[in-house]
């Protein structure tokens, strides 16, 4: 289904609508830029209705603990105060100002303007991401073309339609298509209409967009990243079980599907026996967390099982590395690996355990410099500042407590950059 100028159309109408879209875009660009206050008011109404249960029927296929978590985040992050703070933090002073100039040079006027038209190519590994990405484009006054991920089940479209119902003015700034990525012709037409392309996804997806994008179009890439946990002492005292339980809960809740999820647990040791003892200690904690986070939804359970067994079969066929030293528990496993490479785990609560002595940290991690994002850290308080500094110098973007690796913190950047600042342009006018 397509959402175009506030109305829905069948997908077969795509090419006709894209041909008409250029004219609509030029008309909208000639108007006064969209007031961010209008967008904030609409998002806040969406927040209020979400908390009141208006969209609960759309969330029935999601694990209920995840729904509760989403509502908790929405209560804060989609509030008017937090959205205004987001704009101030990510854009700074957007007011018009004049430079002092220099002798022999003209003075200039500086102002912030929308990029123009942004094509959002969203990934399907995170609920609400398509709608959230589009909301960021609206906050910066842009016209937004959203290509839905194939995994989207209609939730994004429903939420976006609700925004337009709250504020009809937004219909001229929102165009949603369910175009499959295999439709190269349709994707190119969207790209040609855009000033910027915001793409979320794997290396393959981003490379495809690079090849498709017209020369001069700004690429705003949010690529695949890998998260890990670093444990400074594998022989942690019993009090550290609280941190390990939090890490296990994080793995069980995210199923390791997010860029910030823990794929590898590194221990600060190169002694093989210490690595095995740690794995034996962690495995029952992970099993317990998986049991507490299991879902009765047959579709979700089938997906998790298929992903897990596909990874195992690939290992058996030699397509992926596989370790024979595996501690298997109900619904999960702890895989003891001989190397120190940062890599994607089999996911679905199957975590890798590897050695990484502190003095080798930078050497090992810089080998994965393009994929570094989040590190959870378990260590005594007196070591936290030193190890945090070492991780940041190695290229990490976020360092958190082990259980908060995928938590959102108001004011934080994404992959080291503020999204809103990438969706605007600074223009200069000679005075």
Q: Tens digit of pLDDT for each residue in 404-423?
A: 999 888 888 889 999 999 99
Q: Give the pLDDT score at 303.
A: 45
pLDDT band at 129 (very low <50, low <70, confident <90, very high): confident
Q: Is residue 317's pLDDT more than 90?
A: no
| pTM of the full structure | 0.85
Cβ within 8 Å of residue 199, ≥6 positions away: 121, 205, 206, 209, 219, 220, 221, 222
Please give the residue that has the higher pLDDT: either 303 or 402.
402
Tens-digit pLDDT profile for residues 36-70: 999 999 999 999 998 998 888 877 777 666 777 77
Tens-digit pLDDT profile for residues 380-393: 999 999 999 999 99
Q: Give the pLDDT score at 231.
A: 96
Cα–Cα distances in angstroms (integers) from residue 337 to residues 119, 162, 250, 283, 341, in the given order: 41, 48, 21, 15, 9
Q: Give the pLDDT score at 301.
A: 46
What structural domains and CATH numbers belong to the chain?
2-224+415-430 (3.40.605.10), 226-404 (3.40.309.10)
pLDDT band at 311 (very low <50, low <70, confident <90, very high): very low
Tens-digit pLDDT profile for residues 339-371: 999 999 999 999 999 999 999 999 999 999 999
User: DSSP letters along 197-238, please?
Assistant: EEEEE-HHHHHHHHHHSPTTPEEEEEE--EEEEEES-TT--G
Q: Give the pLDDT score at 125.
A: 64
pLDDT band at 306 (very low <50, low <70, confident <90, very high): low
Residue 266's beta-bridge partner residues?
230, 354
Q: Is residue 315's pLDDT more than 90?
A: no
DSSP state for residue 295 in the 8-state scheme: -
Q: Report the pLDDT averaged over residues 223-237.
A: 88
Q: Give the pLDDT score at 309.
A: 53
Q: Give the pLDDT score at 374.
A: 97
Q: Give the pLDDT score at 76.
A: 85
DSSP state for residue 12 in the 8-state scheme: G
Tens-digit pLDDT profile for residues 87-105: 999 998 878 888 887 888 8
Determine how β-strand 2-4 pairs with β-strand 7-9: antiparallel
Q: Give the pLDDT score at 298.
A: 44
DSSP-based three-state secondary structure for 310: helix
The per-residue pLDDT of the chain, averaged, comes to: 89
Rounded Cα gap, residues 256 and 345, in angstroms: 8
DSSP state for residue 368 in the 8-state scheme: G
Tens-digit pLDDT profile for residues 2-39: 999 999 999 999 999 999 999 999 999 999 889 999 99
CB neighbour class for 166 (10 Å; exposed up to 12, middle 13-18, buried from 19):
middle
């Amino acid at each position: 289904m397509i959402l175009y100028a506030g109305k829905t159309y069948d997908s077969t109408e795509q090419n006709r609508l894209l041909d008409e879209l250029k004219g609509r875009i030029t008309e909208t660009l000639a108007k006064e830029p969209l007031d961010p206050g209008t967008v904030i008011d609409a998002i806040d109404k969406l927040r209020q209705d979400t908390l009141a249960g208006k969209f609960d029927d759309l969330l029935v296929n999601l694990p209920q603990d995840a729904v509760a978590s989403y509502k908790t985040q929405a209560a804060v992050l989609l509030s008017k105060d937090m959205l205004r703070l987001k704009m101030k933090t990510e854009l700074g002073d957007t007011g018009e100002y004049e430079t002092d100039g220099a002798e022999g040079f003209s003075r200039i006027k500086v102002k912030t303007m929308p990029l123009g038209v942004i094509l959002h190519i969203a990934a399907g590994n995170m609920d609400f991401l398509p709608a959230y990405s589009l909301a960021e484009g609206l906050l910066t006054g842009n016209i937004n073309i959203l290509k839905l991920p194939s995994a989207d089940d209609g939730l994004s479209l429903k939420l976006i339609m609700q925004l337009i119902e709250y504020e009809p003015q937004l219909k001229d700034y929102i165009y949603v298509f369910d175009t499959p990525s295999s439709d190269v012709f349709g994707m190119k037409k969207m790209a040609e209409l855009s000033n910027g392309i915001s793409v979320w996804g794997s290396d393959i997806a981003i490379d495809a967009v690079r090849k498709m994008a017209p020369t001069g179009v700004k690429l705003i890439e949010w690529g695949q990243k890998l998260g890990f946990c670093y444990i400074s002492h594998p022989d942690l005292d019993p009090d550290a079980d609280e941190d390990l339980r939090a890490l296990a809960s994080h793995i069980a809740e995210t199923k390791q599907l997010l860029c910030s999820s823990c794929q590898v647990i590194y221990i600060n040791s190169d002694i093989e026996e210490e690595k095995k003892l740690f794995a034996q200690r962690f495995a029952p904690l992970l099993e317990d967390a998986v049991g507490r986070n299991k879902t009765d939804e047959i579709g979700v359970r089938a997906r998790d099982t298929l992903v897990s067994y596909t990874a195992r079969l690939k290992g058996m066929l030699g397509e992926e590395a596989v370790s024979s030293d595996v501690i298997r528990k109900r619904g999960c496993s702890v895989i003891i690996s001989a190397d120190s490479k940062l890599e994607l785990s089999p996911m679905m609560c199957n975590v890798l355990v590897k050695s990484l002595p502190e003095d080798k940290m930078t050497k090992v991690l810089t080998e994965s410099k393009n994929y570094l994002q989040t590190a959870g850290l378990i260590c005594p308080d007196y070591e936290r500042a030193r190890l945090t500094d070492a991780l940041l110098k190695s290229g990490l973007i976020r360092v958190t407590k082990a259980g908060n690796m995928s938590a959102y913190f108001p004011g934080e950047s994404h992959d080291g950059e503020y999204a809103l600042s990438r969706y605007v342009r600074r223009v200069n006018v000679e005075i």
